[in-house]
Amino acid sequence: EIADAQPGVGLVPRGVDQPLAIGRQHRTHRAALRVGHLRHVAGVAVVAMDLARKGAHVGLCYNRSQVEAERTAAAVEHLGRRAFVKQADLTKASDCEAFVNETAATLGRVDVLINMASMYVSRPFSELTVQEFDDNIAVDVRSAFICSRAAWPHMRRSGGGHIINFS
């Protein structure tokens, strides 16, 4: 069971047995953005579904996993919540900002941002190149900063919000 959380969302991160409670009071009609690759991050669709079950509308971005994103959005909508899906290259600041701003415009607000984007290079550490490392940092760290910076004004207008970063 996912803990009730203000503003109406909760999640269980991969590898964590206890739920992460953001607050105590359960509210509905909030909007949460989930940033990350649906194909490569175990449980991402589960997080989106838990957000929807807790009453949140959900924004999803994907890079190449369009089918998975649309399937998750359909499941969110089946629960009576709204979903917004957008393709984004999270190595580009303009794509990060566009995703956040278009989600806010479509869903009416941003209350929660969950940064889960990551890259996985299946290669021994000794063979990892500097460029591959830089690409990982651009997605794992830099995109979280840019999306958070873009989400903050929307959260502030709504009276606050939560930013959750997975690493």
Which of 58, 46, 35, 50 shows the shortest CA–CA distance to 110? 58
* pLDDT mean across residues, the chain: 76
Which of 162, 146, 138, 21 shows the shortest CA–CA distance to 93? 146
Which of 1, 46, 9 shows the shortest CA–CA distance to 27? 9
| Integer angstrom CA distances of residue 40 from 45, 79, 144 | 11, 24, 17
Q: Output DSSP code: residue 136.
A: H
133 has a pLDDT exceeding 50: yes
Considering only residues 20 and 117, tell me which one the structure prediction assigns the higher pLDDT. 117
Tell me the C-alpha distance between 139 and 96, whole Å. 10
Its pTM stands at: 0.75
